Structure 1
Amino acid sequence: MPSAPVTEDSHLYLIDASAYIFRAYHALPPLTRASDGLPVGAVSGFCNMLWKLLEELKGGERPTHFACVFDKSSYSFRNDLYPEYKANRDEPPEDLRPQFPLVREAAVAFHTHALEQEGYEADDLIATYARQAEAKGARVTIVSSDKDLMQLVTDKIHMLDTMKNKQIDADAVFEKFGVTPDKVIDVQALAGDSVDNIPGAPGIGVKTAATLLEEYGTVEELLERAEEIKQPKRRQTLIEHAEQVRTSKLLVTLKDDVPVEVALEDLAVADPDPKTLIDFLEKMEFRTITRRVRETFEAEGVIDETTAGDIGFDAENYVCIRDFKTLEDWIARAHEAGVIGLDTETNSLDCQTCDLVGISIALSPNEACYIPLGHIDPDHSGGSDMFDADPPRQIRKEDALKALKPLLEDPSVLKVGQNFKYDYTVFARNGIHVTPIDDTMLISFALHAGMHGHGMDELSERYFHHSPIPFKEVAGTGKSQITFDRVPLDKATEYAAEDADVTLRLWQHFKPWLHREKVTTVYETLDRPLIPVLAGMERAGIKVDRDHLSRMSSDFAQRMAGLEDAAYKAAGGEFNMGSPKQIGDILFGEMGLPGGKKTKSGQWSTDASQLEYLAAQGHELPQIILDWRMLSKLRSTYTEALQDAINPETGRVHTSYSMAGAQTGRLSSTDPNLQNIPVRTEEGRKIREAFIAEDGNVLISADYSQIELRLLAHIADIDALKNAFKEGLDIHAMTASEMFDTPIEGMDPMVRRKAKAINFGIIYGISAFGLANQLGIERSEASDYIKAYFEKFPGIRKYMDETKDFAKDNLFVKTAFGRKLHLKEMNSKNGAQRAFAERQAINAPIQGSAADIIKRAMIAMPEALAKKKLDAKMLLQVHDELIFEVPEAQAEDTIETVRKVMEKAPLPALQLSVPLDVDARAAKTWAEAH
C-alpha cells in the first residue's frame, strides 16, 4: 500500500464498514452464491456501495486517503467499565456470520485498508484517525449515519449517509439532538441507549436532555447542581442515578487516542488492481457489478477483455464446413484434441420424429464449426459474403455421417454435450452410438441441484457473463418463425457453433469441481450412465389404445355435464365451473361457508385443500366442484392429450424424461407427463387400462414397496420400523398398534388408515391442518396424532431436528449415495420460505435416496436382461415403479430378474439395514399389472 503525508490539502474518507454490513443485510433481500449457497447479500451490498462511492468521487474531489474500518470482535475496553455493555444485543443472524470475513476480503480486493484492532470498536478507530487528520488541517468524511459518530462532527469533519445521499454537518447534528456536536455525548449520557444497553438516567430522553444541557451546560455541571432542578421526579432521578450517568458518559465517549497499528499516512488512496478485484467479484458470482467494473476498466483503458480473464466469444472464428476436405481436416483435429463440444440442430424439438439439420463441433474456446446437412436453401446466406460460391454447397448427410461415425464412436475422444440425451437420441436414430460422453447440464445438476437452473443460456450468463444468441434471433417468433433447416447458413453457423463453444467451456469450468465438491461418484455412477438407458426407453415408447381413450373422454364429458347440473342446483343458479372467482363468491359470499380466506389478489381461495376441508364438513357443492375438476383435468391432460401424443409411425406414446428437474434427483416425465396419472381413483386406473402390450407380449409392473418408509427407518435408525420391515409385518398396522395401543389382529381399517396417513405424511412434513383434511378430522385431533407418533418414535424427531440443524449450517443435505441437495432458503428471513426449506431438508435425503436407488436399478437392468437372454424392454419409470414389455413366454423369468436387480440396487455402494421389497406382476394392461 502506498504512503503519503497528510496536509491541509488532504481529504480522508473513513468507511464505517461494520455498521454498513448490518445496514446492507437488513435493507437488501437475501442473496446466496449460486455454486454453493453461501450467503453473500451483505457482501454484495458492501461491494456495490463501495464501487458506487469510488465512481462518484472520480467526478469530484477525490480523497487522498481512504480506509474501511471494522469491529475486531464484540469485546472492547467498555466491557471492563460496564460488563452489561451491549449485553442485550442478539447474536448476528446465522446467514450473516460467514459474510464478515468476506466483506473484509472485499475491502482488500478494492485495494483499501481493512482496519480493525483488538479491544477497540470501529468507532474508536474512526475517532482516532479523524482527530489525527483534523489536527493536520485535513478534511475528513466519515461514511456512516451512526448517531454515535456525530460527536466527532466539526468544521473539518463531516459525515456522509450514502443510503440517503445526505451530508451530516453541525446543523444536521443540532437538528437531531438539539445540541451542538460537542454536547452529543452529554445528551447520550443522560438519554442512554437501549440498543447498546447504556443505562443513562431513567425517564430522560433526548429532548429533555437537550433542554437540561441548554440550562446547565454540561453533564458534570448538571449533576453538581441536580438539587436545583425544579421538577421533583427529574431531580430525584438525577440524584439517584448520578454515577450511572457518569458511567454512561464514559461508555458513549469515543476514544480518539487509540495506539493505531497503521499510520494515518499509510492510508493513501490506491487504485484497485483490476485482476484482483474482478477475480474476487467473479468468485462471489456477482454478475452485475462484475460486468460494470469490467466495462469501466475497459473504458478507461486499464484492461482489455483478455486481461480481465475472459477471452470472449468471437463468431468470426467459427467455420461453416461445406466441403469434404475441410470436414476431414476437422475430424483429424478432433481426434488430436481428445475432448470436443458437440451439438445437433434439428427441425423439431421432438427427438423421436425430427430430422437432423446440422452438427456443430468445438475443439477449444472460439474454435468451433458448423456442418450443415439438411438446410433447404443453403446458398441463401442473408447477403453475407461469409461463404464461398464454389460447390459443393452442402455435404450429403449420408457421406458426412459416415465420415463422422468413427470419431463419434471413438472411445478415446470424449464428446461433451448439454442436455445430451436429446442429441444422443438424434444420433442413434441416424445409426451412430455416441460414446464416451459427458453432459454439462448433469454436471451442473450434480454440483448445484437446488441452487439455480441448468440450461445452457443460464449457465453461460451466470459463469461467463455471456448471453448466447437466442433462437428467436435466427428463426423468428410466432407465426413467422421458421424451422432451423430454413435458417441462412451464416446465421446458423454463428448460432450452432456458439452452442458447441459454450458447452465445451462449461465442461472445462465445471469438470474440476466434481472432485472438489465430492460428487464425482454421483455424476459418474448415477447420472451420466442413465443417459443411454433413458434414451432407449424414450425410443421404445409404450402402446396406447386410442379407442379406449376416446370412449373415456366421452364418458368424462357426460359425467361433467351431470356434475354441472348438480352444482347449479346446489348453488341456486348457473355459474362458470372453471372460474375460481365465481366459485369463491358463491361459497363464501352467497352461501357463507366457514373458513374462507382471500388471496393476495383479493379473491377467495378455492384451491383443492380449501375445497377438501369444506367437503369433509359435509358441504355438498365443494365436493361436486372437486369431482368436476378431477374429471376436467383427466380429460384435458390424459384422455384427450394422450390421443394427440400417439406417434403416427409407431402407434406408441414416447414420453421424455427430465434428468435435472426435481432437485432431489427424481426423474420427471414430459410431453406427455406419464408420472402423474392418479392411481388411487377409479378414473385414474381406467386411464392406465389404455396402456397396453403388443400382441403376444405382456406389460410388467415392478414397484418398490414402501421404499421411502424403509429408507426413513434406515436413515433415522428406527429399530421398531426396521424390525417390522425385516419381519415382513404390515408397517401401517404395526404403527397403529404402537400409537393407539391396539392389537394388530382384528384392527379397525380406519385406525390403520390413520397410521398410514401419518407414516407417509411425516416424510413430507405434514401439518396438523393437512392431516385433518386428509382424514376428515378436527385439527386438534390430528395434532394429537402427530404428537403421539413422535412420542412412540422419538428417533424420527431426532433425525428431523439433526437434519434441519445440518442444513442450516451447511445449506445442503445429502442422499445416502452422496448427492447434494442445496437448500438456499434454510436461513431465510421469510418464515414461509424457511419453513418450506425445512420440510425439504427432512424429505430430500429420503426421496433423493429412493430416486438414486431406482436409477441404479435402471442402469444395471439392460445388462442383467441381456445376460439372461430376455427380450424385455424397459419402457417407463414412474417414481418407484418400472414398466417393461416382454414376450408372454418370458414373463416369469423377467419378473425374477427384474426383482433381483431392483432389490440389490443399493449394493455395493450402500448396505441397507432394511430389506427392499419389489411387487411385480404381468398383464395385458398397465392397470392390471400394477
Structure 2
Amino acid sequence: MNDSPRILVDASSFLYRAFHALPDLRAPDGLPTSAIYGVANMLRRLLKDHEAREIAVVFDAPGGSFRDALYVQYKAQRPAMPEELRVQIPLLHEWVRAMGLPLLVEPGVEADDVIGTLARQTPVDQPVLIITGDKDMAQLVNDKVHLLDTMKGVETDRGAVLERFGVPPERIADFLALTGDKVDNIPGVPGVGPKIAAKWLAEYGDLDGVLAHAGEMGGKVGDALRAAADHLPLSRQLATIRVDVALPSLSLERRPPDLAALRRLAQQLGFHAWLKDLPADPGPSAAGAGQLDRNGYRLIIQPEALAALVQAVEKAELVAIDTETTDLDPWVADLVGISCAWLGADGEVTAVYIPVGHRDGSPQLPRAEVLTALRPWLEDPAAAKLAQNAKFDWRIFWHQGIRPAGLLRDTLLESYILDSTQTGHDLDTLAQRHLQHRNIAYADLAGKGKNAKNFADIPVTEALPYAAEDADVCLRLDRLLWPRIAAEPGLQRVLTEIEMPLVTVLARMEEAGVKVDHRQLEVLSAELAEEMQGMEARAFHAAGQSFNLNSPKQIQEILFDKMGLPVLKKTPGGQPSTNEDVLAQLAAQAELPRLILDYRALAKLRNTYADALPRMIEPRTGRVHTHFQQAVAATGRLASSEPNLQNIPVRTEQGRRIRRAFVAEPGHVLMSADYSQIELRIMAHLSGDARLRSAFAEGLDVHAATAAEVFGLAPEAVDAEARRAAKAINFGLIYGLSAYGLAQQLSIDQGAARQYMDRYFQRYPGVQAYMEHIRAEARERGYVETLFGRRLYVPEIRSSNPARRAYAERAAINAPMQGTAADLIKKAMIAVDAWLLEAPERGRMILQVHDELILEVPQAGVAAARAALKARMEGVAELAVPLLVSMGVGDNWDAAHS
C-alpha cells in the first residue's frame, strides 16, 4: 500500500479567505500581497506538517464554467473579483511553481471538478487528502479520501460528514439541491433546511426518491417541494462535482523548490520572513550588487598594508566605513576595530578590517598609529564616506579625537526614506531584504546571555569576516538603494537636505546631553510613592478588599466578577481587558477604574522618570544623554530612547515637576522655542482655505476664530469652553477624526458632533476639498507626500475591509501635516546648529520634543540667542501663512516652556 497521500489543494478557496482575513499587505512597489502571503504560508505549513510526494495546487480558471451554460444565474449574485485580488493571481501562480508544486488551472470547469477527477484517478491503495474549506467537497469523501481545512485544523472523514450534514457523502449533492446553496446561487426548496433535507433523504434514499413521494408531503413544505420539483434535478447537477474531467497529462510529483526564483519573488513582494528562512544564495545576489565573498576579506595588521589602504581609500570614489566597539553606548564604548569597503577599478568590492583593540593577543597595529594614518582621509570633507547608522560611528571617532567629515549617505536612512512603514532598517534586515544575504549574527560569533564574549575578546581572525562584511554589505546596499532615491527628486531632497545633515546635528545633541537635578527627582519619587499609597488605600476602599493594583487578573476579578461592570474588550487570550481605554470608559460608571488609572499614571512617572533618570546620569558629565532616532516614526518625527523624553506629560503637575528637574548649568539658562499651531498652519497652506489662511495672516486666535465660525458666535462671545471645543474640532479633523471620535472627546452625542463637523466644513470648504483630494490621491498612488517630498505609504487605503480602509484614510489626511511639521523642525535644527557652530560660546542645542527645541545658552547671550533662534525657525520655509514660534527662558525646562 502507498502510505504517502496524494494532496490536492483547493487554492481558490484559500485565496479569498486569505485576502479577506489578512491586513492589506503591500509589496515595496505598492502591489497588494495579502492573498499571495496567506496562501504561500498555508502551503509552507502544509508541506511542513504533511509528507507530500504527490501534490497538486488547483485554481479556478478565469471565465465561466459549464455550469454557467446550464444555469445563467449560477453564482450571478457574487460580486466581481476585486481588482486588488485579481492582480495577485499571476504572481501567486509563479510562487507556487517556484515552490516546486504542480499547478493546475483548467478552463471550462471549476477547481472542485479538477480535484474530484484527480481524487478518483488516484490508485486504490493510495490515500487522498483534499485541502479545502469548501463544504461542497464533502461529496468526495470516502474511506480513502479525507478533507482537511488547514485554517481551522479540522479533518473530515466519512463519519464527520454524516455527523455534520446528517447524510453520507454520496448524498451531499442531493442534500444541497434540496437546501439550495446561497454561495453558488443554486435554488433549493424554500423552507427546507438541513434537518428536513436530511430526514427526507434518510427516509426516501435520494433526491429521486424524495421527488417520487412529493405528492405525499403535507403542509407548506410539501407545496414548496412540489413547486420546486422541476428545477431540483438541475440544482443537483449544479451541485455535483465532476470526476470525469479530461485533464492534460501532468506529473504530480513534487519537485525541489527553485530557490533563486523564490528569493526573487520574496524580494519583489517584500516577504522578509521568507527571505530569512530561505537557504543562503550560492549565486549572485541582487542585481547590480555583486556576490559577497567573505574569503576575500583582508586584515590590515602590517604598516605597509595600512599605508596601501590609505592610498586606496583616498583614490576611491566612495568608501563604506564601520566601527567595532566594546559597547553599544558611545559614552562607554571603546574602539576595537575599523572596517572599510570600496569599489575597485575592476568593479569588484574590496573589504578590509583594521583591528586596534582586541585583547586576545592577536597581531594588530597600535590604535594611535592607525588613527594617525587615517586622520587626513577621515577628516577630509571631499572624501565621500558611507555608513550604516553613521551617528554612532561618528561619536566613536569623536571620542578618539577625530572629527570625521565627508559623510555622503547612510544606508539606514536610505531605507527609511524609501519606505518609512517598513519594519527594520538595521543592516541585517536590509541585507536579507535587498541582497537576499544573511549576515553573520553577532550571537553566532560571541555567544549569548551571560556567557557572551565582548567583541574585544574575539580573536582577530574570527572578527574579520563579521566586521568586514558590515562595510561590504553597506556598500552594496547603497548601490541598490541610492539609484531608487536619486530617481525621485522629492526623496532625494529629503535625504540630502534634511536627513543626512541632521545626522551630525543629532550626534552633537547626544554628546551635549541635558543636566538633571537628581535631588529634585529623589524628592519627587518619595512624594509619588506616598501619593501611590494613598491612591492604593482609596482603591482598596472602593473595591471592598485589598488587591494588587499591578495584577490584571485580580483587577479583572474585582471589576467584572465582583462589581459586575461590563466587559468592553478582550485580550488576545480571551480575558477581559483592563487596558487604559477600557478603564477610561468604565470610569464613567464607577470610581475604582479611575483610581486604578491614576495609580498607573503615578507609577509610570515614578518608575520611568523619577527613579530611572538619576541612574542614567553619565558620571563624567553629570548629564543625561538620550539617543535620538531618525528612522522610527513613519511620519518622519524624531524619537528618543534611553531615556524617552518625548512622552513626559506636560499637562499634569507631576509631569511638570519632572521637567523642572531638567536644569541649566550655572551661569546658563534653558531656552525653549516652540512652533505655534504648526499643523493647523500647514493645513491652511496645503488646503488653500481662504478663511483659515486669513485667520493666521491676521494673527487671530485660530481656535477662537473657529469657535466663532462653527458655533455662530461673535468673536467677543467665545468663552473658554467654546474655544476648547473648537480646538478639539480643529485638531480632530486634521487627524481624520470621525463624528464618533469627536463626540467622545467633547462628551456629546454623535448627532451634535456631526452638526459641528458639517458647520466646520461649510465655513472652511477648502479643508474638506483638500481631505477629499488627498484621499483620492492616496488611493491612486498608494502613498502621500509632505511639502518637501517625504513619502508615507498607506496601502490599506485600497482595502476591502472598511475599518482598515478608514484608518488608512485618516493616516492619509494626517501624514502630510505631521510629516511636514517633522521636516520643518528638522530643517530648523540644521539651521540653528549652523548658527551655533559659528561660535560655540553661543550655547548648544540639547533637546527636541515634538515641535519644540531647547537650547542651553549663557545668561549673557539670551537676547542674541532668542533673536537668532526665532529668526531661523520662522524663516526655515515660506508657507502661505506665517510660521510663528513661541519663546520662553528659565533655569529649568518647565520654566522655559511655560
TM-score, scaled to structure 1: 0.79
Shift of 1:22: 2.8
- In 1, are the aligned partners of 2:7 and 2:52 still within 8 Å (CA)? no
Q: Does 1:424 align with 2:414?
A: no
Give the distance between the partners of 1:566 and 1:235, measured in 2 at CA: 69
- In 2, are the aligned partners of 1:179 and 1:210 still within 8 Å (CA)? no
- Note closer, same or farther for the CA distance 1:769–1:561 as it changes in structure 2 (3 Å cut): farther
Give the distance between the partners of 2:240 and 2:383, measured in 1 at CA: 71
SS in 1 for 2:77: coil
Give the distance between the partners of 2:45 and 2:561, measured in 1 at CA: 53
Partner of 1:70: 60
Partner of 1:368: 351
Matching of residues 637-656 of structure 1 within 5 Å = 637-656=608-627
Give the distance between the partners of 1:595 and 1:153, measured in 2 at CA: 46
Between 657-666 and 713-722, the greater mean CA deviation after superposition? 713-722
- In 2, are the aligned partners of 1:153 and 1:170 still within 8 Å (CA)? no
Give the distance between the partners of 2:102 and 2:585, measured in 1 at CA: 62
Q: Does 1:736 align with 2:674?
A: no
Partner of 1:331: 310
Give the distance between the partners of 2:722 and 2:295, measured in 1 at CA: 72
- Note closer, same or farther for the CA distance 1:104–1:561 as it changes in structure 2 (3 Å cut): closer
Partner of 2:338: 359
Shift of 1:867: 7.1
Matching of residues 101-250 of structure 1 within 5 Å = 101-107=90-96, 109=98, 120-123=108-111, 126=114, 145=132, 163=150, 188-204=176-192, 229=216, 231=218, 236-245=223-232, 248=235
Shift of 1:772: 6.8
Give the distance between the partners of 1:170 and 1:556, measured in 2 at CA: 65
Give the distance between the partners of 1:800 and 1:305, measured in 2 at CA: 50
CA deviations 1:69-101 (Å, max 9, x no partner) are 53314x567556644332332454676343223
- Note closer, same or farther for the CA distance 1:78–1:915 as it changes in structure 2 (3 Å cut): farther
SS in 2 for 1:877: strand
Q: Does 1:541 align with 2:513?
A: yes
Shift of 1:167: 10
SS in 1 for 2:424: coil
Shift of 1:50: 6.2
- Note closer, same or farther for the CA distance 1:896–1:205 as it changes in structure 2 (3 Å cut): same
Partner of 2:693: 722
Shift of 1:538: 1.8
Shift of 1:324: 1.8
Partner of 1:98: 87
What 5-or-longer segments of structure 2 have no aligned partner? Answer: none
- Note closer, same or farther for the CA distance 1:868–1:368 as it changes in structure 2 (3 Å cut): closer
Matching of residues 659-674 of structure 1 within 5 Å = 659-674=630-645
Between 654-663 and 912-921, the greater mean CA deviation after superposition? 912-921
CA deviations 1:224-254 (Å, max 9, x no partner) are x677555565664354334433654665577
Give the distance between the partners of 1:565 and 1:501, measured in 2 at CA: 61
SS in 2 for 1:643: helix
Give the distance between the partners of 1:180 and 1:640, measured in 2 at CA: 69
Partner of 2:372: 402
Partner of 1:305: 282
SS in 2 for 1:88: coil
- In 2, are the aligned partners of 1:94 and 1:827 still within 8 Å (CA)? no
- In 2, are the aligned partners of 1:709 and 1:760 still within 8 Å (CA)? yes
Letter in 2 for 1:784: A
- Note closer, same or farther for the CA distance 1:886–1:448 as it changes in structure 2 (3 Å cut): same
Partner of 1:40: 33
Partner of 2:880: 913
Letter in 2 for 1:372: P
Between 189-198 and 697-706, the greater mean CA deviation after superposition? 189-198
Between 836-845 and 880-889, the greater mean CA deviation after superposition? 836-845
CA deviations 1:462-518 (Å, max 9, x no partner) are 445555444445555555555433443334334323333333333334333334676
- Note closer, same or farther for the CA distance 1:325–1:646 as it changes in structure 2 (3 Å cut): same
- Note closer, same or farther for the CA distance 1:173–1:514 as it changes in structure 2 (3 Å cut): farther
- Note closer, same or farther for the CA distance 1:122–1:715 as it changes in structure 2 (3 Å cut): farther
Shift of 1:422: 0.9
Give the distance between the partners of 1:589 and 1:266, measured in 2 at CA: 62
Identity of aligned residues (%): 41
Give the distance between the partners of 1:276 and 1:806, measured in 2 at CA: 34
- In 2, are the aligned partners of 1:278 and 1:308 still within 8 Å (CA)? no
- In 1, are the aligned partners of 2:10 and 2:115 still within 8 Å (CA)? no
Give the distance between the partners of 2:183 and 2:431, measured in 1 at CA: 46
Letter in 2 for 1:244: H
Between 846-855 and 467-476, the greater mean CA deviation after superposition? 467-476
- In 2, are the aligned partners of 1:666 and 1:848 still within 8 Å (CA)? yes
TM-score, scaled to structure 2: 0.81
- In 2, are the aligned partners of 1:315 and 1:366 still within 8 Å (CA)? no
Letter in 1 for 2:395: T
Letter in 2 for 1:918: V
- In 2, are the aligned partners of 1:417 and 1:438 still within 8 Å (CA)? yes
1:441 to 384, 405, 412: 412
- In 2, are the aligned partners of 1:72 and 1:121 still within 8 Å (CA)? no
- Note closer, same or farther for the CA distance 1:866–1:165 as it changes in structure 2 (3 Å cut): closer
Between 823-832 and 240-249, the greater mean CA deviation after superposition? 823-832
Shift of 1:195: 0.9
- In 1, are the aligned partners of 2:779 and 2:797 still within 8 Å (CA)? yes
Q: How many residues align?
A: 877
Letter in 1 for 2:510: E
Q: Does 1:793 align with 2:761?
A: yes
- Note closer, same or farther for the CA distance 1:172–1:678 as it changes in structure 2 (3 Å cut): closer
Give the distance between the partners of 1:154 and 1:814, measured in 2 at CA: 58
Shift of 1:757: 3.1
SS in 1 for 2:62: coil
Q: Does 1:815 align with 2:786?
A: yes
Shift of 1:716: 4.5
Shift of 1:704: 0.6
Partner of 2:74: 85
Matching of residues 234-273 of structure 1 within 5 Å = 236-245=223-232, 248=235, 251-252=238-239, 264=248
- Note closer, same or farther for the CA distance 1:76–1:572 as it changes in structure 2 (3 Å cut): closer
Q: Does 1:856 align with 2:839?
A: no
CA deviations 1:381-419 (Å, max 9, x no partner) are xxxxxx6xxxxx332222211211233344565422222
Give the distance between the partners of 1:34 and 1:571, measured in 2 at CA: 51
- Note closer, same or farther for the CA distance 1:515–1:251 as it changes in structure 2 (3 Å cut): farther
- Note closer, same or farther for the CA distance 1:611–1:165 as it changes in structure 2 (3 Å cut): closer
Letter in 1 for 2:180: G
1:530 to 502, 517, 525: 502
What RMSD, in angstroms, separates the aligned Cα atoms of the two structures?
5.0
Give the distance between the partners of 1:15 and 1:562, measured in 2 at CA: 63
Give the distance between the partners of 1:38 and 1:644, measured in 2 at CA: 48
Matching of residues 531-930 of structure 1 within 5 Å = 531-553=503-525, 555-556=527-528, 592=563, 600=571, 607-609=579-581, 619=591, 629-764=600-735, 779-781=747-749, 784-785=752-753, 787-793=755-761, 795=765, 812-823=783-794, 839-863=810-834, 871-907=842-878, 912-930=879-897
Give the distance between the partners of 1:213 and 1:616, measured in 2 at CA: 57
- Note closer, same or farther for the CA distance 1:56–1:892 as it changes in structure 2 (3 Å cut): closer
- Note closer, same or farther for the CA distance 1:783–1:691 as it changes in structure 2 (3 Å cut): farther
